[in-house]
Amino acid sequence: MIDKGIKTTKIKICGITSTDQAEMVCKFDIDAIGIVLYKNSKRYVRLEESHEIMDSVSKKISTVALMVNPAQNEVEKVIEVLKPDFIQFHGDESSYFCNQFKYPFIKAIRVHSELNLITSIQDFKAEGGFLFDAWHPTKYGGTGETFDWNLLPKKLSAPLILAGGLNSDNVGKAIAEHKPYMVDVSGGVENSPGLKDECMLADFVESVKLADISAYA
């Protein structure tokens, strides 16, 4: 049992694909779930199914709708129909595009050594935080690969969320070295894309809690 006085790293489980998966995941001590509304993703869920999934989630757990380079009317429809706690813009969206909805959002940044992270995040009013993920020339997340965490910015105007290839073996090191506000995992707790594994989830959550004890005690 973690001492209540110890700061804890928040946990987001992304790529939930069914109500059964949502109910299983929400048995654990997590803070948010993500549903992927990007058709090219192996974890894509249609809007109607997404509504059912979000309705099955406890109000204590935040819901995040992940979109990649959506049209304005697509974002407006998601806000109207799903009413997620956050939109996660995971593509190449501009700050103007994301800010115009005046709706809480997370902005994902795919990190590589030649990218100026400070310039990349300026002007985004991302009250949900900035999520840093591994760069891939054609894929928007879900690569299962890590990136050089030393490239992470030292100071942000919003919470730092760390993603990209996290699992129970490396999340402790990530927390110890960089103390992110939240860690985001998808493939690292799966048997196959979109199918979360209960034992892997348990190991991941336990690894985060143990890392918190060492990092913040």
Mean local confidence (pLDDT), 168-190: 96
Whether residue 169 is contained in a domain is answered as yes
Whether residue 2 is contained in a domain is answered as no
Whether residue 3 is contained in a domain is answered as no
Domain containing 88 equals 10-216
Mean local confidence (pLDDT), 50-68: 96
Whether residue 4 is contained in a domain is answered as no
Whether residue 102 is contained in a domain is answered as yes
Mean local confidence (pLDDT), 51-61: 95
pLDDT at 113 over 80: no
Per-residue confidence (pLDDT) for residue 144, from 0 to 100: 67
Whether residue 140 is contained in a domain is answered as yes
Whether residue 1 is contained in a domain is answered as no
Mean local confidence (pLDDT), 133-155: 76
**Residue 40: which of 168, 156, 143 has the closest Cα?**
143
Instruction: Please state whether the predicted TM-score (pTM) of the whole model is above 0.75.
Output: yes
Whether residue 200 is contained in a domain is answered as yes
Count of structural domains within the chain = 1
Mean local confidence (pLDDT), 3-25: 89
Per-residue confidence (pLDDT) for residue 140, from 0 to 100: 63
Mean local confidence (pLDDT), 79-103: 97
pLDDT at 216 over 90: no
Residue 2 pLDDT class (50, 70, 90 cuts): very low
Mean local confidence (pLDDT), 94-104: 97
- Out of 94-98, 101-105, 118-122, 211-215, pick the least confident: 118-122
Per-residue confidence (pLDDT) for residue 142, from 0 to 100: 62
CB 62 within 8 A of CB 86: yes
Q: CA 33 from chain center: how many Å?
A: 8
CATH number, domain of 26, equals 3.20.20.70
pLDDT at 188 over 50: yes
User: Which has the higher per-residue pLDDT, 106 or 142?
Assistant: 106
CB 127 within 8 A of CB 106: no
Per-residue confidence (pLDDT) for residue 138, from 0 to 100: 61
What residue type is assigned to position 91 of the chain? G
Mean local confidence (pLDDT), 9-25: 97
Per-residue confidence (pLDDT) for residue 150, from 0 to 100: 87
What's the Cα-to-Cα distance from 14 to each of 18, 72, 78, 141, 147, rounded to whole Å? Answer: 12, 23, 17, 10, 18
CB 63 within 8 A of CB 83: no
